[in-house]
Structure 1
Amino acid sequence: MLSPALRRGCAALAAVTSLTLAATACGGTTKDSAKDDAGAAQSGAKADPGAATKKGLTVAFLPKQVNNPYFTVADRGGEKALKALGSTYKETGPSSATDTSGQVSYVNTLMQQQVDAMAVSAQDPGALCTALKQAMKNDIKVVTYDSDTNTECRNVFVSQASAEAIGRTQVQLLGEQLGYKGDIAILSAAQTATNQNTWIEFMKDELKDPKYKDMKLVKTAYGNDDAQQSFQQTQGLLQEYPKLAGIISPTTVGIKAAAQYLSGSKYKGKVKLTGLGTPNDMRQYVKNGTVEGFELWDPAKLGALAAHTAVALSSGQITGKKGETYKAGDLGSFTIGDKGVVDLGEPTVFDKKNIDQFKF
């Protein structure tokens, strides 16, 4: 879900959609690069890196879906960070990941409650924009994490990693497992999920490399981050393409459901599966031979970085402009990149050798 890692180069960020897309203008000021700081510019404020960290703030987390294991881990990371910072955490959001416009009502409610900042994982980049812009006009700082909205509709996007790193490495993992041969499919979340779509664009671009000439992407299916739908989509893919060699599922719900189906089928060990998952969800499937390896970032650290970013914005230490730096506790120091994007780090690959070292 992951909805959620993975969490750096300029070329990597010349992406297509507005998720982790920290790119286009890597040097000089252009019409587009000036627009990159739209969220920060709305307030007209200047960053004061030496400003004291405010306490007693209220920061609300609005994930794509509450009670989703991935977001539960991420948001608890935010809660822990806020407690250490002397501020208050709250969480709200839809119970379904398919309700693409449902987050708007929660943004409006949080505005009425006059929270100081909100951290939002956007289900639909366009649907949220008007509400988030209004929140910023009301001096509420807006951080997106895991999945972005449009750049002008938030102050900072906390990305799991560069979109390119996430997209390309999943194809690289599957290519190694397949010996670079065979038909493959992608099992994604919702068709509107900005992070999924951005990663998939990079997957397709990676597949253009000559070393993948014997690998063919036959279909992208959507399980809407629903376990049953994802399970059924996996079954459907294998019925439609009986010679399918591998599946990439860049969503924690999807990869777990796909692994569950494969583990109890004749395809176990024959159809390779990789993507983004949590060690706790995937441990049994790695150990029983269904999955060789998959990847992710630490979602708790992603949530913590979102919390630190929200507090830094509320304290005036940053505004969201490129080049601003701030400290995020034990996570270290971070610098805001193009389009107001901050990257958490590189993806971690989990396999039999290391999966027991991770407990999330």
Structure 2
Amino acid sequence: MSTTRRIGSLTASLAIAALALTACAGSDAGTTPSAGESGGSAKTDATITFIPKQLNNPYTDVVLGGGKEGATAAGFATANVVGPLEASASSQVSFINAETQAGTNAIVIAANDPDAVCSALGEARTAGAKIVAFDSDTNPECRDVFISQVVAKDVALIQTKLISEQIGGKGEIAILSATANATNQNEWIKFMEEELASNPDYKDIKLVAKVYGDDDDAKSFQEAQGLMQAHPNLKGIISPTTVGIASTARYLSTSEYKGKVALTGLGLPNEMRSFVKDGTVTEFALWDPAQLGEVAAYAAKALVDGTITGATGDKFTAGALGERTVEDGGLVIVGPPTVFNKDNIDEYDF
């Protein structure tokens, strides 16, 4: 039975918090349970801060909405959002440093670069903060757990399958990604390339280009234009980023390539609905982004309370989403991807 997702937009107070660093009690970090403790008592005055790749991103807004709700339900006294307006490799470091100085108990971060943030995160951990990566991982040595949307290979395989179906199993395709250093994007692309090279069903599909729109609407739109100019025989585009797929769909919808060049990837139903209904896009995929933020918040609280340490086999309950288990490498999986098309897209609201 299908379930309608209704994800509320971020409040005005969240927007204000995202643009200004909110001071937290500096003494909190000293009372955070150490990594070796388990079964600790709940910390009632704990603070959490979310640091996304960038602010003012529709996908990020949904993730953060779920994160804020999850933080409140999990028992955090204060939940803040800070972060850069542009998704560059080093843009998050100053925000991490400020949270360390503020004594924030838990930092939840979607890394623009897996290594650029590590030194700052190391200082935060030394000061007592628990580090949860979500959406896009850091180097595993730099955090306690990583909350992944789905199994990375499954994300790659569903997108590869969709583009193959939409171009009849043969022809030139391209990938329009986010930033060149984005951990999640690069892992998905690696699996796509491996699948295209090894699966005989895809022997007639040729990946001719990989371009990066930096999760910027205007740049992604320009990259989509550039792909068509550089590859006149292009049959399809995979864009594993919500900004990229929406920008590319907007370009294709008013171009001569509408209905001729297939587009799939990862998108938000509310952004893609009109493009599905007008025939620009046939099918695309995603998970429920709000659940990603919600699970991350519950994991952060379990770490702060000392009920988990991030070790393989640790378990915690993510509210109504149920129990989650920490897998090898500190990995926690949220749920499987969903494919959206004209038959089901109106059942979802996020």
TM-score of the superposition, structure 2-length normalised? 0.89
Q: In structure 2, the residue corresponding to 1:248 is in which secondary structure? A: strand
Q: Choose which of 99, 106, 109 in structure 2 pairs with 1:117.
A: 106
- Aligned pairs (5 A) from 1:1-360: 43-48=34-39, 51-87=40-76, 88-97=78-87, 99-208=88-197, 209-360=199-350
1:197 and 1:61 map into 2 onto residues whose CA distance is: 23
Following superposition, the deviation at residue 86 of structure 1 comes to: 2.9
Report if the CA contact (8 A) 1:55-1:85 is conserved: no
AA at the equivalent of 2:202? Y
Flag the structure with more relative contact order, 1 or 2, with Cα contacts below 8 A and sequence separation at least 6.
Answer: 1
The residue that corresponds to 1:19 in the other structure is none
1:325 and 1:85 map into 2 onto residues whose CA distance is: 15
Q: In structure 2, the residue corresponding to 1:349 is in which secondary structure? A: strand
Following superposition, the deviation at residue 134 of structure 1 comes to: 1.2
Following superposition, the deviation at residue 76 of structure 1 comes to: 1.0
1:85-125 C-alpha deviation (Å, 9 max, x unpaired): 3322100000011x210101100000011111010000011
AA at the equivalent of 2:318? A
Q: Which runs of 4+ in 1 moved over 4 A?
A: none
2:81 and 2:288 map into 1 onto residues whose CA distance is: 19
Provide the alpha-carbon RMSD of the alignment. Answer: 1.2
1:304 and 1:128 map into 2 onto residues whose CA distance is: 23
Following superposition, the deviation at residue 166 of structure 1 comes to: 0.8
Report if the CA contact (8 A) 1:77-1:299 is conserved: yes
What runs of 5+ residues in structure 2 fail to find an aligned partner? 1-32
1:303 and 1:194 map into 2 onto residues whose CA distance is: 18
Between the aligned residues of both structures, percent identity stands at 52
Following superposition, the deviation at residue 163 of structure 1 comes to: 0.9
The residue that corresponds to 2:7 in the other structure is none
1:217-254 C-alpha deviation (Å, 9 max, x unpaired): 00001111111111011011001111100000000000
Q: In structure 1, the residue corresponding to 2:234 is in which secondary structure? A: coil
TM-score of the superposition, structure 1-length normalised? 0.86
The residue that corresponds to 1:24 in the other structure is none
1:146 and 1:308 map into 2 onto residues whose CA distance is: 15
Q: 1:47 and 1:86, CA in 2 relative to 1: closer, same or farther beyond 3 A?
A: closer
